[in-house]
């Protein structure tokens, strides 16, 4: 190894869970290093529906006002339009919260915001363009990770290594943690449509019928659309041709027919193979997985990003003190899983029947029973008590996560542009960082990447 970095906590993956965990630990005095294999955060079709529960977490951190100043799209309801009528799946205006809306914002903007705030802390370090290649283990305990950044290789040694590297987690794979896989019955086709003269919508609209289910979100300057497909059928849809797909989409969402006509190539669509899974055990000595690395969620219901951030809040609250002492007992890691796992299990148990209900409602050739259910479902689903419960679970989950007192700030401190950052980027081979002395690593400029 060319060099070795020492830190209290090494977080692999700078998605929402990793970024928020780094921020909260750093605010509590923990030295934390976050590794991100990409050079920036620019990935499309990632979870970007920030729930009221997460905005409340940001508020406890003193950051809600600055976050909302980014002008995210505010979504107050989720509606399903079916042959039997419209079902209000959730109305966040019914929920007792200071933030009765989803804040829809590109994930890269959210990550830029969080890492910018984290970089105000002198004990926070973000290494962009740095991939963890394997775990370092000694006496059956994880001691950190080996990394590669360009031509440079080095080690990050830590009391705790956190896998926050998504549903294809290398940390989880190398740790050989036991995984329970549940085959989701759907794939999704994601695409964008230009927005013309349609009025702005403050609801996520799901259109069901004619054998198809499509959901659309108003992104301000464009529509983001997801088409639900039965598992493994994406290839058949593509072979039928783009014209046939345009006709299908126009029947499902006739008010967007003119925008749908702009779909001219399959290059404009992306296939997401939906999977749901969860680890039986999220941890090992010196190791913890959170977010999608611990439990991949279906996009149905938009719970993934907010559950992941809840994991980060629980871990930061329980483990900051042990990390400062340099001793992270396995029982503390087990306590984090106990706090979070039952909520994950419950949400996954809701997503499966909800997915089946969408497919049932979209059935174009229903039998007698299915036809009756299609007609009766809107009336039953819109009952006031049922709507109130669904709205609360959608907005706040089953139990609200609260930030540790040591990480809270009201309001967030103001910092001059010249204050020190510890964001790192890949440099040319052979260069040396004045902070770490690691070949191949050099400090970034004082600003996050522009997007």
Question: Is pLDDT of 141 > 80?
Answer: yes
Confidence of residue 147 (pLDDT cuts 50, 70, 90): very high
What pLDDT sits at residue 366? 56
Confidence of residue 9 (pLDDT cuts 50, 70, 90): very high
- C-alpha–C-alpha distance, residues 113 and 95, integer Å: 27
Q: Which tens digit of pLDDT belongs to each residue from 225-238?
A: 999 888 888 889 89
Beta carbons within 8 Å of 327's beta carbon, 6+ residues apart:
159
Beta carbons within 8 Å of 315's beta carbon, 6+ residues apart:
21, 162, 288, 290, 336
Beta carbons within 8 Å of 277's beta carbon, 6+ residues apart:
167, 179, 180, 181, 182, 295, 296
- C-alpha–C-alpha distance, residues 350 and 191, integer Å: 26
The percentage of residues in the chain with a pLDDT greater than 70, rounded to a whole number, is: 81
Q: Which tens digit of pLDDT belongs to each residue from 62-102?
A: 999 999 999 999 999 998 887 777 888 899 999 999 999 99
pTM for the full model?
A: 0.85
Question: Is pLDDT of 312 > 80?
Answer: yes
What pLDDT sits at residue 428? 33
Least confident of 219-228, 297-306, 377-386: 377-386
What pLDDT sits at residue 8? 98
Q: What is the mean pLDDT of the chain?
A: 84
Question: Which stretch, 137-141, 280-284, 431-435, has highest mean pLDDT?
Answer: 280-284
């Amino acid at each position: 190894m060319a060099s070795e970095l020492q830190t209290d906590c090494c977080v692999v993956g700078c998605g929402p869970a990793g970024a928020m965990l780094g921020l909260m630990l750093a605010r509590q005095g923990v030295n934390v290093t976050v590794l991100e294999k990409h050079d920036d955060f620019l990935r499309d079709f990632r979870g970007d529906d920030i729930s009221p529960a997460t905005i409340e977490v940001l508020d406890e951190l003193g950051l809600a006002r600055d976050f909302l100043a980014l002008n995210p799209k505010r979504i107050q309801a989720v509606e399903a339009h079916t042959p039997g009528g419209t079902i209000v799946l959730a109305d966040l205006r019914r929920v007792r919260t200071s933030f009765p809306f989803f804040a829809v914002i590109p994930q890269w903007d959210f990550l830029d915001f969080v890492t910018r705030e984290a970089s105000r802390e002198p004990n926070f370090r973000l290494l962009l363009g740095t991939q963890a290649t394997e775990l370092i283990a000694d006496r059956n305990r994880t001691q950190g990770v080996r990394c590669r950044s360009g031509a440079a290789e080095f080690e990050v040694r830590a009391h705790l290594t956190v896998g926050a590297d998504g549903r294809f987690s290398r940390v989880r794979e190398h740790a050989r943690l036991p995984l329970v896989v549940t085959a989701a019955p759907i794939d999704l086709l994601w695409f964008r449509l230009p927005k013309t003269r349609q009025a702005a919508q403050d609801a996520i609209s799901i259109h069901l019928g004619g054998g198809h289910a499509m959901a659309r979100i108003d992104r301000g300057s464009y529509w983001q659309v997801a088409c639900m497909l039965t598992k493994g059928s994406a290839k058949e849809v593509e072979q039928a041709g783009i014209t046939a797909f345009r006709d299908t989409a126009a029947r499902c969402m006739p008010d967007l027919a003119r925008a749908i006509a702009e779909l001219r190539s399959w290059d404009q669509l992306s296939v997401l193979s939906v999977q749901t899974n969860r680890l039986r055990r999220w941890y090992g000595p010196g190791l913890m997985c959170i977010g999608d690395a611990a439990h991949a969620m279906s996009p149905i219901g938009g719970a993934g990003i907010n559950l992941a951030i809840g994991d980060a809040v629980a871990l930061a609250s329980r483990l900051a003190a042990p990390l400062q002492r340099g001793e992270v007992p396995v029982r503390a890691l087990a306590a984090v899983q106990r706090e979070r796992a039952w909520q994950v299990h419950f949400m996954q148990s809701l997503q499966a029947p909800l997915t089946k209900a969408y497919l049932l409602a979209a059935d174009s050739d229903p039998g007698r029973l299915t036809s009756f259910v299609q007609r009766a479902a809107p009336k039953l689903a819109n009952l006031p008590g049922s709507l109130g419960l669904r709205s609360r679970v959608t907005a706040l989950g089953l139990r609200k996560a609260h930030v540790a007192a040591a990480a809270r700030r009201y309001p967030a401190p103001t910092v001059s542009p010249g204050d020190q950052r510890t964001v790192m980027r890949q440099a040319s081979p052979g260069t040396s960082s004045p902070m770490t002395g690691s070949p191949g690593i050099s400090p970034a400029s004082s600003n996050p990447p522009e997007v």
